[in-house]
Structure 1
């Protein structure tokens, strides 16, 4: 339907009227004949179609029946080949679009899998960092405890050294007392022997001196007993200090073993942290490559879709042209008497 209600039939009638009057055919003349209505473009198109139909009619009237049959056969073959070509192009285009869509889906799935793996690695890295922080805090506490134990151990060693010095002093005093006692006993024995010889002469004096010596000896023995008891107490304290020193030493060795084990665990976690960081970097690089590939595929898909739209438009135009050509340009078959 043309604009303004102009039809091909009306244009044909106006052209025939101008021909009947012997006037030349033009767009303006036809438009004036139509009452100054209708688009010049539409009128021009209709005039071209009418001229083409006239040319085809004149050509058909001048051709023989055999040539018309040959032309109809060729036009049929041309139409079939054109349809086959269009179908093949549509099939190839559909296969290409399907392949690009499958590749796009595959790249999308790989990107999603990579993103999930990256999230898992990030979670693992976060856990490793938390464990590393906990180990650092534990290591710090153990180091503080170790320093405190080392300080206590030094203090105990100093106290033990002081005790040893006091024990050595007491032992020296004890030795001196024993030597003095031995010397005293020797002196008493000599004195007794001497007094024995003088016993008859000075028994009363000797008895008095013996009593005094016995009192002094008792006092010395009492002092010796106190020294012996004190020595026993010091030996007990020394034993307890040695036992405490052994316990502190064992605790220190256990703390050193724990520190060594924690340092080994810290080294393993640090190596794992480095490995996870490297793997995470690789996954991020892969994600960037996949993202770049996905972007390129998206652009190629858009270009392919644009090309598909253009190709579909071209195919539709070719179909329309072929159908229009075979519909409007189909040669007529004439009878031997020249009737169509």
Structure 2
């Protein structure tokens, strides 16, 4: 029984169409003409029935001959063989294409698996990169906080350094005033020494004149002796005042030395805080050394002043003794 709508009439129509085109109505040709539908056994059965009916009909001598039928049979067989070869070739090509398609499908599967593996790896790398980015952001935030702290510390240090500079300038002003005071003291001491020297020379001259006039005027000698005593007392008082001023200046120098020691300590601390103060510290240390040298020189000058004062005091004492001797001699001579 025919399947899919295939019946004898349809097969007969397909057979007549093939015969009209000059083709042999083989099973495969009829099936192709039918659109590749129907089973070959059904088509074969319908074709046999149609051939039986055709052979049972009286032959028409005007349409067919045995020779032409033989040629048609041979051509049909040849066409069937060529069609079968073509179909076999198409099937082989289709098999090759199928194998090629399967190979490409396997390659695509392999590529998909590789891409999936790469995607998984890239996802892991992306996660690690995100973690590293988060860590870098945290580190950047911590670095920003640290930078802010360091900037604040630098600002505080700059403020402290400004205070230190102000203290240093104040100490420098004090040292300058001290140097000016020392210079004034040296100038005053020099002028005083010159005045004392001139006074001493004048006194010596006066004493010499008085010594020459002692024998002539005892009262004048006594007055001069009294005046010399007063001058001596005044000189002693001035010497005491000079010693007192010297002690005052020595105390000021000691105070300046303590200030210098404090300055050295301050400079040492500032030197530990920043390297930028090293040059200024060296300059201050050189200034301190110069001040120490100046103080040493001043102390030497003061020692020389003390020695000269002692010499002057000794000379005055000797002069007083000579006057006393001259006075005793003048007292003895009238009695004689």
Q: TM-score range by the shorter chain?
A: 0.3 to 0.5
For the pair shown, the structure with the greater C-alpha radius of gyration is 2
The structure whose RCO (Cα within 8 Å, separation 6+) is larger is 1
